[in-house]
Amino acid sequence: MTALSVAMAVALITAGGIVLRWPMYKCMGDTPLPTASFLAILFTSGLDVGLLMFPLIDFEVYASEPDYAFASPLVIEFGFWAGLVWSFYFLTTMYFCAIEPRLKLFELGPIRWIHNGVVIATCAFTAYLFLIYLPSYIEGIDAWLTYVIVGAVIVLAVLSSTRLSVLRVLSLGSSSLFCLLILVAWLASDLGVAGLLDQLAGLTAYAANIDRFILPINEYHGFYLSWWFAWSIMIGQFVARFVNGMETWKLLIAILVVPSMPIALWFAVLYSYFAAGQAIAPWITFAMVGVGMLFVINSLDSLTRLYSQNLGLTVARLGLYRYVGMHVVILAGLVILYQFTPFKIEWIGMIVIGLYAAVYIAMVQRRTEVLSR
């Protein structure tokens, strides 16, 4: 937990320092997209199915354990999923826009292989979460059917990773359906407009307690922070390609504020069900599973595209059938590894913290003014 705490403090200080020192730096990726497409890709790539499947389970934990007594379960969940933690993505996106093209650290053999191993392992963790939590949302589902559904999702994700145009449509579609899901779940609840506004007003307690979310509260919070670290470098590398010339301060707002808005709405609606003891209608649950599947496909698509290009394991090199077969086997194999071994995402988070340290050391050694014009 000490290494995680130090890494959190250094990352947040660095992110703040970048904004203060270079607020007007224009960030440009090699495949710039319109802002709406960029934000959709950021949102759907930077999150996974846990956003839909964790909250109702987490609320019960936060309501019963004294570690979380300083705020409501809604505020705790928001702090674990939104707000400040997105600064990891801001930091790494800035790095891959402005620093990596000069430092080229991730082109070095050992770091390149370690980094892409992290991408593959984290990619599989997304599918593993879907496998584990699916029975909680489809009561009575047979184990074999769960594996079939997860396998089909992996295949669809690998297939969609062969075309960038599919990613844009998938990201925009997933984001739109998620917003529609929020609307439908809200309308089906007893919350109403006034109740929703009250729930959202309660999230001001996040700002009042933001210092409590910087360092790990306990092991479960440490799990979440390790999970964010595990995702951070690869998401930064991926979405940096699509930045369209935003200035640093605008990129900060785009990454920290914009994704937090639908997350806040979603958690507020779900929390109203929990607080009122109201059951979620089965058809809404199935809609959650459907959107969750799209989130998994979107995440796996993005990450498969990233590591396959980094390692040269592309369709152009392997051919379509070998490409699909290879990546499906890799991802499915790792899902099984998570299922039947002690393999944990926390280990991946610690490896990523090591990569952060390597970046800082390389920058100090080379003394490069990486953001100078």
What pLDDT score does 367 carry? 62
What pLDDT score does 293 carry? 85
CA–CA gap between residue 302 and residue 160 (Å, rounded): 9
Q: Count structural domains, the chain.
A: 1
Q: Containing domain of residue 304, as a range?
A: 2-366
Residue at 281 is within a domain: yes
The three-point CA angle 296-301-302 to 5° equals: 105
pLDDT in tens, 114-147: 988 888 888 788 888 888 888 877 777 888 898 8
What pLDDT score does 186 carry? 93
Residue at 373 is within a domain: no
Residue at 372 is within a domain: no
Distances (CA, A) of 69 to 2, 4, 74, 82, 306: 23, 23, 12, 19, 40
What pLDDT score does 102 carry? 84
Residue at 218 is within a domain: yes
Q: Which stretches of the chain score pLDDT less than 50?
A: 368-373
Residue at 43 is within a domain: yes
Most distant pair of Cα atoms in the chain: their distance: 60
pLDDT in tens, 150-183: 899 899 989 988 887 777 787 788 888 989 999 9
What pLDDT score does 305 carry? 83
Q: What is 17-44 written as a DSSP string?
A: HHHHH-TTPEEE-SS---HHHHHHHHHH
Residue at 371 is within a domain: no
Residue at 354 is within a domain: yes
- Please report, for the domain that includes residue 101, its CATH number: 1.20.1740
Residue at 116 is within a domain: yes
Q: Is 244 helix (H, G, I), strand (E, B) or coil?
A: strand
> Closest Cα to residue 190, out of 263, 62, 281?
281
Give the type of residue at 4.
L
